Homo-oligomer: A and B are copies of this chain.
Amino acid sequence: MAARTPRPLSGFPELLPEERVVEEHVLDVLREVFELHGFAGVETRAVEPLSVLLRKGEIDKEVYAVRRLAEVAEDGAAAGAGGDDVLALHYDLTVPFARYVLENAGKLAFPFRRYQVQKVWRGERPQEGRFREFRQADVDVVDAGSLAPHHEAELPLVMADAFARLPLPPVVMQVNNRRLVEGFYRGLGLADTAAVMREVDKLDKTSPERVRASLVDGVGLGEREADACLALATLRAEPGSTGFVDEVRGLGVRDELLDQGLDELAAVVAATGAVGGGSFRVVADLSITRGLDYYTGTVYESRMTGYEHLGSICSGGRYDALADDGRTTYPGVGLSLGVTRTLVPLLQRGLLRASRPTPTAVLVAVADEEHRGASAAVAAALRARGVATEVAPSAARFGKQIRYADRRSIPFVWFPQEDGSHEVKDIRSGDQGPADPATWAPPAEDARPTVAWHEPTA
């Protein structure tokens, strides 16, 4: 280890113990909710053959290739030379999951409901809310052959359940449908619909005027078509409202795929309109298209109110052609919550905090090293009933042992007495009284660290 203080790596965030308590709490809530909804936990390896990751071509430059140092030494360059044996770190959890489904299709029961919480890696330029290593929490439903459309409304409801239990700002989920957009463009007679979508996708970063100019000068649309594309993309609905259906029809474009997309989007919005209690709302937003090109129907993005500049914290969509083994296709729909993107900016602002940086609720004091065994016996008795307990690391004077607890916000210090009796002290109030290691327990709110939102102070 270097005889100097190492520095953080930009884009690879690490948490202090009290911040990690917050993250663990969020991960516990997500797992609890995903399991309550019947999703099975799956994990895939961190690496995939480069050929699997690059099939969709979009983000090659951001992929991290992985090679044994021995190999690198043997044949120098060539890490980017291709071939199935070159491995790379996965950049999302959807592509590896699709590969997992194909690989294990014979052993899975369909429709297959899975959640997956893992780190992913992308070599993007680090900035707020953008990391090179970050954790995603995904839920997907995949079926063999065809996938019932009600799952497209189910997934937002699962996330709504999760956000209702998380100490986070309110979230607005924006939903759109690729078929709707594709059909609208087709109905306008546009040929390169992908190019149009790419420009329209920039609406949250630039002005409508600039997008319009790119559509006309860059993609080659007529003025009327460009206006129609912008009119579609700037339609907004109230949460739960399906009024957008008439508004789209009012734009005068007719196409079968457009009709299908409108029906699908209206169904999702209608089924999720009643959700929420304020923590999570679903709205139709016809500008959302998602950059990655494997989505084929419903697409989702979500933003935290007041933290919209972080971008979408929970995104996904329906993919009909991602997993296909030549005999069967496995259409799916999924949502991916950016755990790191959501939490790190809030932790950095001190808005999300844990009540203490350690699980310990009780520190058992040690009178002298000969009596360490007696203190360890108390700790064992408390732990046997689920009370997180440490024994003081040194038999220093009691004032110092209490300071040890105080520095970690450990609420209770336990004192074995010479006569074999016991006392426990709440070091916040100073209250001290007799206690029995076989029966005593801390108040429920002190048992484990708690996590709370702290309003920013001006």
Contacts and interface: CB of A to CB of B under 8 A. Distances in A.
Interface in A1-55: 1-9, 12-17, 20-21, 24, 35-47, 49-52, 55
Q: Which of A6, A52, A119 has the most CB of B within 10 A?
A: A6
A425 interface: no
Given A2-B55, A36-B389, A45 B9 contact: yes
Interface in A98-132: 98-100, 102-105, 107-109, 111, 113-114, 119, 121, 123
A43 B15 contact: yes
A149 to B, nearest CB: 10
Interface string A364-380: 00000100100000000
Nearest to A33: B383
Given A42-B20, A65-B67, A68-B61, A148 B393 contact: yes
A150 interface: yes
A72 interface: yes
Interface residues of A, number: 104
Contact of A40 (B2, B17, B79): B17
B4 A325 contact: yes
Contacts of A76: 76-77
Contacts of A389: 36-38
A338 interface: no
A324 interface: yes
A188 interface: no
A238 interface: no
A308 interface: no
B38 A358 contact: yes
Nearest to A409: B109
A69 interface: yes
A453 interface: no
A3 B329 CA distance: 9
Nearest to A75: B77
Nearest to A321: B1
Contact of A69 (B44, B80, B360): B80
A15 B325 CA distance: 20
Contacts of A326: 3-4
Contact of A12 (B14, B37, B47, B67): B47
Contact of A68 (B7, B63, B87, B387): B63
A271 to B, nearest CB: 8
A299 B325 CA distance: 50
Contact of A386 (B36, B109, B123): B36
Given A46-B119, A62-B68, A63-B69, 10 more contacts: A3-B326, A5-B102, A5-B325, A35-B448, A36-B383, A64-B67, A109-B408, A111-B393, A148-B393, A151-B393
> Would you list the 10 A-B pairs with minimal beta carbon distance, nearest first?
A38-B390, A68-B123, A35-B359, A38-B360, A76-B77, A12-B45, A72-B80, A17-B40, A61-B70, A77-B77
Interface of A: 1-9, 12-17, 20-21, 24, 35-47, 49-52, 55, 60-73, 76-77, 79-80, 87-89, 95, 98-100, 102-105, 107-109, 111, 113-114, 119, 121, 123, 133, 141, 143, 148, 150-151, 161, 322-326, 357-360, 369, 372, 383, 386-390, 393-394, 404, 407-408, 448
18 contacts: A3-B324, A4-B326, A7-B103, A15-B43, A17-B40, A17-B41, A17-B114, A20-B43, A38-B388, A38-B389, A50-B69, A65-B69, A69-B80, A69-B88, A72-B77, A77-B77, A79-B79, A113-B390
